[in-house]
Every structure is written in structure tokens, then in C-alpha cells.
């Protein structure tokens, strides 16, 4: 990652001439045709706004907007702004460094497609920092019962159970930062020797005791590039979560219960009543996984969990149900195996794909006739299962022993 000192001279000169900015908005991908005229709305309250966009070719000539300046900065990989595959967790370091350099009062990093940004949306990410002294503003994207399943099934309830915060999208990639938080994120973590900004931002903020809030955005969660396969995404997400568990073990082992992060705006749940979903393919993958990956799963899963899976393979499609307790134990046992390095970590995480798909199949069958309210209730049940099983994770984390039920 290029450090600020390694920026080209003209960029450094421009930063010097800008001097300071109240708000820095950083895009991590950009095309010349992207429209930023909405930025005028941000400067109307007298704020001094700087929009940073990744450059690599010619500098783009924008229409002048009062109170808004533009800065192109060198991206760590030139292809990033050319619709090439992105880091699904977003990248923040350059924008944060620029915001720190300009002593900004609030910084917003936008990793989604630039055409989805608008004045209202960006404002909702920076206003809680400016007006109410929050350190991290996380978007609450539009939810749907069959959308963002990895988030519903793993990320959100696990964050709640282990880190004690109820956040809808803990791995959101469009975020608002305070100066305190961005100063912390720019620093290198002495344990991992990488900048904290390349680690899981939400848990960094939670463990540092920062103030976190959520803001409802009327947009769907960003999709990963089409070329990414589920197995890679799942392995990347789980890898990040499990690595984080190791790093923050001292924190999550002592947190108790959970509390909501304050939320602004009305969250929106998309109705998905007229949905036809065929889960046969998912169940087949699970059964194929059971037949072929048992040796690998056996390194992670306890005998009792394995036995439950064996019974599940014999279920008919209509009766295919994976209980919440079983799913949560699977996630926790893989976290333990990841920590114990029972095998190559990438293999371990990828081998979890059929298990995840079995959960998706079971969840989908349960949710087919369920309304939006029922959907939230269902997620609440799952989150409680994660919380209730936390002592199980704790006991096995503290006392690694193969002799488990």
C-alpha cells in the first residue's frame, strides 16, 4: 500500500494547497463517467468537502462545485477503478491517510459503485460523526429474507454474541469515521504488523471502545464481483472473522450479553413473498460434501455434531431442517479448528461451503411462507442461539482438547 509520502509530488502539492477539509469523501473505485454533481448538496451547510478518487490515468476535469474540491490519489492497484475484482472488504488506507493529512472532522469511505452514492446517503454517514460525536457510522442496508445470507447466518449474529453489539451489517464497506478512529486505523497493529484499516473495522472500533451507530440506507448490500465464487467469498469472510477472534480473544471472552448500536433512519426490509427457490441443488452439494469431505470435517467437528449431520443427510428435501444449535456449533467448531491449525486454513474454510449451503437450504425452506416480521423474529432466534452457545465456544477455546462431546 502506498504511504502518503510515496504519493506523487503533484498529489502532495495539491494536498498542501488544499490544507484542510471538514469532510473527506473517498471513493475506492471510479470512472470518468461517474456523476458527482450531488456533492453540491453536501457543501450547502458551509462544509468544506474534498472528494478523493483513485487515479491512474489522466486527471478528470469535474464541473466546479462550490465548497467541493477533488483530489485524485494513486491506488495501490491501478486496475481497481477499472471494474476489476475488488477486495470484498473494501480498502480504506489511502483515503484515511488523506483525511488525516487534511485534519478532517469526518471521513466517509465509499467502496460500493460510485453511481449508488447520493448526497442523502453520504450525509447520513457523516452527520452522526459531525453532530453527535460517533466514531464509526455503519450503514444499515436494505434487508431481505433471502438476501445477504452470509451476513444473516454468520456475520451479524456472531458479532452480536461475541462482541456484544447488535449491528445489522458488521462487515459493511461504506463507512463514516471520526478523526479518532481513523487515527487508530492508520496505525500498524503491533501483533499482526499490518495497518488496522486492513483488518475488520467494526471489531477494531468495538474493542477500542469507540462509539458506533448505524444509519439506514435505502440500497442493497454491495455485491462482490461476478467472477468471485461463493467458496472463495465464504473462505475470505470466515478467515477474517476467525483471525479476528484470535486477535481479540481477550475482549470477546469477557463481553457479556449484547446491546444495540444506536440507529438512525427507518430500516427497510424488502418483501420477497413471490419467490420460487429450489434448494435441491444445495442439499445435493451438502450430501456430496458429507460423502467426500468427512475426513476434513472430522478434524473440526465434534462427534455429536457429526452425528447430527449424518442424520441430516438422510432427511428428505421437504423435511430438511438444520437446527440453530447445530449450525452455531458448526461455526464455532470451525473457528476452533482454524485457531488450532488442525489443517491448512484455506482448505478448512473452503470445506465449510457445503455446510453453509445446508444451512441456507434449511433456512430457505423455513422462510418460504414467512413475512418480513417473521423474518426478523427468525434472525433474532438465530442470534440468541449464538449467544446461548457462547459458553461452549469459550470453554473449548480456553481448554483445547480433542475429547469433546
Chain residues that interact with other proteins, rule: CB under 8 A:
88, 144, 146-151, 221, 223-224, 229-231, 233-234, 272, 274-277, 281, 284-285, 288-289, 291-293, 296, 298, 303-304, 306-307, 310-311, 341-345, 347, 350-351, 353-354, 360, 364, 395, 399, 401-403, 405
- Is residue 141 within 8 Å of 219, Cβ to Cβ? yes
Residue 48 C-beta: closest distance to other proteins, Å: 36
User: For residues 12 and 339, which CB has a smaller minimum distance to other proteins in the complex?
Assistant: 339
Please provide the distance, in angstroms rounded to a whole number, between the alpha carbons at the two ends of the chain.
46
User: For residues 1 and 230, which CB has a smaller minimum distance to other proteins in the complex?
Assistant: 230
Residue 226 C-beta: closest distance to other proteins, Å: 9
CB neighbours (10 Å) of residue 346? 12
Q: Is 52 helix (H, G, I), strand (E, B) or coil?
A: strand
Which residue do the cell numbers 472430522 mark?
298
- Which are the contacts of 390, defined by CB distance < 8 A and separation ≥ 6? 161, 162
User: For residues 233 and 384, which CB has a smaller minimum distance to other proteins in the complex?
Assistant: 233
Residue 394 C-beta: closest distance to other proteins, Å: 11
Secondary structure letter of residue 69 according to DSSP: E
Residues β-bridged to residue 212: 136
User: For residues 79 and 229, which CB has a smaller minimum distance to other proteins in the complex?
Assistant: 229
Angle at which helices 324-340 and 353-367 cross, to 10°: 160
**Residue 72 to residue 51: CA distance in whole angstroms:** 8
User: For residues 128 and 153, which CB has a smaller minimum distance to other proteins in the complex?
Assistant: 153
Residue 221 C-beta: closest distance to other proteins, Å: 7
Sign of CA dihedral 364, 164, 106, 101: negative
**Residue 31 to residue 83: CA distance in whole angstroms:** 9
Residue 84 C-beta: closest distance to other proteins, Å: 18
243 φ/ψ sector (left φ>0, alpha ψ -120 to 50, else beta): alpha
Residues β-bridged to residue 160: none
Residue 137 C-beta: closest distance to other proteins, Å: 21
Dihedrals φ, ψ of 181, to 5°? -70, -40
Report the residue count for the chain: 405
Residues β-bridged to residue 270: 144
User: For residues 97 and 305, which CB has a smaller minimum distance to other proteins in the complex?
Assistant: 305
User: For residues 11 and 360, which CB has a smaller minimum distance to other proteins in the complex?
Assistant: 360
Residue 172 C-beta: closest distance to other proteins, Å: 12
Secondary structure letter of residue 144 according to DSSP: E
User: For residues 205 and 360, which CB has a smaller minimum distance to other proteins in the complex?
Assistant: 360
Q: How many CA atoms lie within 13 A of 19 on its CB side?
A: 2
Q: Which three cell numbers stand for residue 296?
A: 476434513
User: For residues 76 and 294, which CB has a smaller minimum distance to other proteins in the complex?
Assistant: 294
Residue 273 C-beta: closest distance to other proteins, Å: 10
Residue 78 C-beta: closest distance to other proteins, Å: 25
Dihedrals φ, ψ of 212, to 5°? -120, 140
SS (H, E, C) 161-201: HHHCEECCCCCCCCEEECHHHHHHHHCECCCCCCEHHHCCH
Residue 126 C-beta: closest distance to other proteins, Å: 25
User: For residues 19 and 281, which CB has a smaller minimum distance to other proteins in the complex?
Assistant: 281
Amino acid at each position: 500500500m502506498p504511504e502518503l509520502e510515496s504519493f506523487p509530488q503533484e498529489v502532495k502539492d495539491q494536498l498542501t494547497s488544499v490544507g484542510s477539509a471538514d469532510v473527506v469523501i473517498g471513493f475506492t473505485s471510479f470512472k470518468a463517467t461517474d456523476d458527482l454533481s450531488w456533492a453540491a448538496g453536501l457543501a450547502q451547510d458551509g462544509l468544506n468537502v474534498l472528494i478523493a478518487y483513485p487515479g491512474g490515468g489522466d486527471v478528470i476535469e469535474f464541473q466546479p462545485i462550490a465548497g467541493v474540491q477533488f483530489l485524485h490519489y494513486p491506488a495501490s492497484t491501478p486496475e481497481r477503478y477499472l471494474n476489476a475484482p475488488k477486495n470484498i472488504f473494501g480498502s480504506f488506507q489511502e483515503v484515511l491517510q488523506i483525511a488525516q493529512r487534511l485534519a478532517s472532522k469526518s471521513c466517509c469511505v465509499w467502496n460500493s459503485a460510485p453511481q449508488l452514492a447520493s448526497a442523502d446517503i453520504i450525509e447520513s454517514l457523516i452527520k452522526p460523526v459531525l453532530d453527535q460525536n460517533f466514531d464509526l457510522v455503519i450503514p444499515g442496508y436494505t434487508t431481505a429474507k433471502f438476501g445477504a445470507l452470509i451476513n444473516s447466518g454468520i456475520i451479524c449474529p456472531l458479532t452480536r454474541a461475541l462482541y456484544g453489539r447488535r449491528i445489522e451489517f458488521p462487515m459493511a464497506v461504506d463507512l463514516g469515521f471520526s478523526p479518532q478512529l481513523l487515527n487508530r486505523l492508520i496505525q500498524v497493529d503491533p501483533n499482526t504488523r499490518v495497518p488496522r484499516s486492513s483488518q475488520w473495522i467494526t471489531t477494531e472500533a468495538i474493542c477500542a471502545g469507540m462509539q458506533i451507530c448505524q444509519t439506514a440506507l435505502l440500497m442493497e448490500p454491495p455485491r462482490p464481483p461476478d467472477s468471485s465464487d461463493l467458496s472463495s467469498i465464504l473462505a475470505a469472510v470466515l478467515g477474517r472473522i476467525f483471525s479476528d477472534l484470535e486477535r481479540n480473544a481477550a475482549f470477546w471472552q469477557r463481553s457479556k450479553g449484547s446491546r444495540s448500536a444506536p440507529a438512525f433512519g427507518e430500516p427497510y426490509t424488502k418483501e420477497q413473498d413471490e419467490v420460487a427457490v429450489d434448494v435441491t441443488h444445495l442439499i445435493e452439494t451438502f450430501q456430496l460434501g458429507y460423502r467426500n469431505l468427512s475426513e476434513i470435517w472430522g478434524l473440526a467437528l465434534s462427534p455429536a455434531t457429526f452425528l447430527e449431520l449424518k442424520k441430516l443427510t438422510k432427511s428428505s428435501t421437504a423435511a430438511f431442517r438444520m437446527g440453530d444449535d447445530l449450525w452455531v456449533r458448526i461455526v464455532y467448531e470451525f473457528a476452533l479448528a482454524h485457531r488450532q491449525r488442525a489443517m491448512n486454513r484455506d482448505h478448512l474454510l473452503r470445506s465449510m461451503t457445503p455446510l453453509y449451503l445446508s444451512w441456507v437450504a434449511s433456512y430457505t425452506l423455513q422462510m418460504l411462507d414467512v413475512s418480513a416480521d417473521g423474518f426478523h423474529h427468525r434472525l433474532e432466534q438465530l442470534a440468541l442461539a449464538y449467544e446461548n452457545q457462547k459458553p461452549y465456544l469459550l470453554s473449548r477455546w480456553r481448554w483445547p482438547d480433542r475429547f469433546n462431546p
